[in-house]
Amino acid sequence: MSTQAYVIAIVLFATVNGIFSPWLVGMFPFVFVLMPAFFLSSLSVLLFISSILFATITLILGGIPAALHERWSGAKESTEVSMWIWLAGVGLLTLPAAANFVLFGL
């Protein structure tokens, strides 16, 4: 499988986690501190920015084990093993949001 397919799956998992995570409300204080001027208009902007921030954090945290594997193996480019590690890391981080996705997303 090409790395493009892995990246698409990783981004889809991170998006599901960003939208349906039970800890999304915990991002509100960070978003208020990072971008206070955006929230004078509506709550929907706050939810949108919070979900994007949570999805980005999921991508970063899920990629740490893959980056460590690439570093230790001495790979110059991403291999299929490192992409599987990244997908598994993001998948594990998405597990708490899976129940909300099944209940409310489908």
**pLDDT, tens only, 54-86:** 999 999 999 999 999 988 988 788 888 999 999
**Does the pLDDT value for residue 40 go beyond 70?**
no
pTM for the whole structure: 0.84
Give the single-character DSSP code of 104.
I
Q: Which residue has the tokens 């996705």?
A: 101
Q: At what angle do helices 43-73 and 3-20 cross, to 10 degrees?
A: 140
Are 90 and 58 contacting, i.e. CB atoms less than 8 angstroms apart? yes
**Does the pLDDT value for residue 39 go beyond 70?**
no
Average pLDDT of every residue of the chain: 86
According to the model, what pLDDT value does residue 90 have? 96
